[in-house]
Amino acid sequence: MDWHTILRFIHITSFAAWFGTVFTSLFVLKTLEPKLTGSATDTATYPEFLQSFIKRETKVADAGFKIAIASGLLLAFFFHGWTIGVLVKSGLIILQVVLTMGYIIKAIQPLTYPCTRSEYKKWYNLFTISLSMFALVLGITFFLL
């Protein structure tokens, strides 16, 4: 049995699941924007729906993240070693988590609905941070290391 291939498959699919949840959330939030930035009577059930969705999305994203980290550490420990590339990718992942979580705490958690379109755009800033970091990690992984 080729453990390296199995671990790489697990690592790539879990990273893709984590990345996919971010895209899914972007599309859901874009769809809900008219309802969450409308009048108070329009938004009655949508904040609850959004909260429920985010809870479920977070479970999938957390699982993908944890499995990607664990499989990446196993790959580094058993097959690749602690090269500069592994350390750079690890640092970028840590930076992504810190930036994303910091922005969620600072800008997203205080949002109440209905809100203005300018307040709602804080969600899009979150996706800019997250997707930029994904692009940076993938770009460095595939083109520089």
pLDDT in tens, 98-115: 999 999 999 999 999 999
Q: Looking at residue 142, what is its pLDDT? A: 83
Under 8 Å between Cβ of 72 and 11? yes
Q: State the residue range of the domain holding 20.
A: 3-144
Give the closest residue to 84 by CA, choosing from 4, 12, 138, 145.
145
pTM for this structure?
0.88
Q: What percent of the chain has pLDDT over 90?
A: 81
Q: What is the pLDDT of residues 70-108, one digit of tens each?
A: 999 999 999 989 999 889 999 999 999 999 999 999 999
What domain count does the chain have? 1
pLDDT at 145 over 70: no
**3-state SS class at 86:** helix
Contact 56, 95 (CB under 8 A): no
Non-local CB neighbours of 96 within 8 Å, separated by 6+ positions: 130, 133, 134, 137
Tokens of 114: 């209905």
Q: Which of 7-16, 99-108, 136-145 has the lowest mean pLDDT?
A: 136-145
Going by pLDDT thresholds of 50, 70 and 90, the confidence category of residue 1 is: confident
| Spatial separation of the C-alpha atoms in residues 19 and 25, rounded to whole Å | 10
